[in-house]
Amino acid sequence: MREIHPQDLEDIAVGAAILGTGGGGDPYIGKLLARGAIEVNGPVKMISLEELPDDAKVVTCGAMGAPTILIEKVPSGEEMLLALRHYEDVTGETVTALMPFEAGGLNSCLPIVLAAQTGLPLVDADGMGRAFPQLEMETFNVYGVKAAPVAVADERGNLAMVETESAAKAEFLARSLCIRLGGQVSIVNYPMDGATAKRVSVPATMSLAQDMGRVLREAKTEKKETLVALIEFLKTTHYGHAELLGSGKVSDIERKVENGWSVGVVTISPFDGSASYKIRIQNENLMLEREGQILAVVPDLICLLDIDTCEAIPTERLRYGQRIDILGIRVPEIMRTPEALAVFGPKAFGIEVDYSVLGGR
């Protein structure tokens, strides 16, 4: 078990932003909300999957919507608690443990807020191992857990509950509510017991985010090459492989909000004037190509890092002229099975290419 204190939040936010692959919401806002919740309610207990009782009543939680909207529509910090209480009121169940539904940005920080507010333990795992734009794109769904009931709440106290059999239908209905409620809401979903959580979750993603932030902080303090330190650390984790895929300057951004997502294409021009990199985005960075060659594609992570600080740049904060390193990270094996690729591989996003694992194995 770890305890999360205010001083831990900077490392978590830095690492979570990288795992967010451009999406998952801006961790800065989540970090501020988490710090306030911990200062009021005390530290959060974070337990591993192994420490989770088999009979625990687990729900997952996070924010849904286009990350760009958070710049103007800032969460109040109470939405997720409202969603949890609404879930318990409607279902009659008492939740005993919380888990992020994705490991990225805001959605690694908001569950900390809820854990502090409720005193419930936070499970060190999630269902994406990164961030994805759609609710059904979870290892939970891949391996048989129902997404619904989905409790929805916004910053004005509006509440709704989605009940359906299909995770894809739950996404469709919850996304419709999200759009009508201003493009950003908090949700509680994917209820399961502890034994199931151990079978279907991507393990140790919260602690991974914290450790990634720590590695970067220590490398800066020791005046080491930050990106090299991060890549070498990731090779020792259950992700197993990371590499620098390219560098350059942001030379063009095509981006719009469509169906509740930020979608578009980012162009990065190398400093030597050679062929540009194109990155397709749908909240998250989905595919990296150059001169028709696919260099990386979902579910593997494509992370855009500031070339000077090695910190992730979320989709909504990309600007012309930024100097970028493009980091690729291979996902854990649980996310590379045929069943998983059918749900969140390239073709699930309409990208008609076969998945080729980063690093070749």
Question: pLDDT tens for residues 57-107?
Answer: 999 999 998 766 776 777 888 999 999 999 999 999 999 999 999 998 889
Residue 259 has a pLDDT of 67
* CA pair distance 43, 320, nearest whole angstrom: 40
- Domain check: are 185 and 269 in the same one? no
In a domain, 179, yes or no: yes
- Domain check: are 241 and 199 in the same one? no
* CA pair distance 335, 83, nearest whole angstrom: 28
Domain endpoint, select from 159, 187, 203: 203
Q: What is the CA radius of gyration of the chain?
A: 19
- C-alpha 10: how far from its chain's center? 16
CATH number for the domain harbouring residue 35: 3.40.1610.10
Mean pLDDT of 271-284: 92
User: pLDDT, tens digit, for every residue of 171-215?
Assistant: 999 999 999 999 889 999 999 999 999 999 999 999 999 999 999
User: pLDDT, tens digit, for every residue of 95-124?
Assistant: 999 999 999 888 999 999 999 999 999 999
pLDDT at 262 over 80: no
In a domain, 302, yes or no: yes
E strand or H helix at 143, and its extent? none
pLDDT classification of 316: cutoffs 50, 70, 90: confident
Tokens representing 292 are: 């028709």
In a domain, 226, yes or no: no
CATH number for the domain harbouring residue 321: 2.40.390.10
- Domain check: are 166 and 280 in the same one? no
pLDDT classification of 331: cutoffs 50, 70, 90: very high
- Domain check: are 270 and 188 in the same one? no
In a domain, 319, yes or no: yes
E strand or H helix at 178, and its extent? helix 167-180
Phi-psi region for residue 227, left (φ > 0), alpha (ψ -120 to 50) or beta? alpha
- Domain check: are 43 and 122 in the same one? yes
For the chain, the average pLDDT equals: 94
Sequence-ordered list of residues with C-beta below 8 angstroms from that of 251, at least 6 positions apart, any chain: 267, 268, 269, 276, 320
Domain endpoint, select from 157, 188, 203: 203
Contact 266, 252 (CB under 8 A): yes
- Domain check: are 15 and 160 in the same one? yes
Domain endpoint, select from 163, 179, 203: 203
Give the other-Cβ count within 10 Å of 352's Cβ: 7
Sequence-ordered list of residues with C-beta below 8 angstroms from that of 208, at least 6 positions apart, any chain: 15, 19, 103, 237, 239
- Domain check: are 35 and 117 in the same one? yes
Q: Give how many domains the chain has, as a whole number.
A: 2
Three-class SS string for 20-82?
Answer: CCCCCCCHHHHHHHHHHHHHHHCCEEEECHHHCCCCCEEEEEEEEECHHHHHCCCCCCCHHHH
Look at the chain and count its residues.
Answer: 361
Tokens representing 165 are: 């059999």
In a domain, 229, yes or no: no
In a domain, 213, yes or no: no
In a domain, 212, yes or no: no
* CA pair distance 69, 85, nearest whole angstrom: 25
- Domain check: are 139 and 260 in the same one? no
Mean pLDDT of 324-335: 97
In a domain, 355, yes or no: no
Domain residue limits at 288: 235-349
What percentage of the chain's residues is helix, strand, coil (to nearest 5)?
35, 30, 35
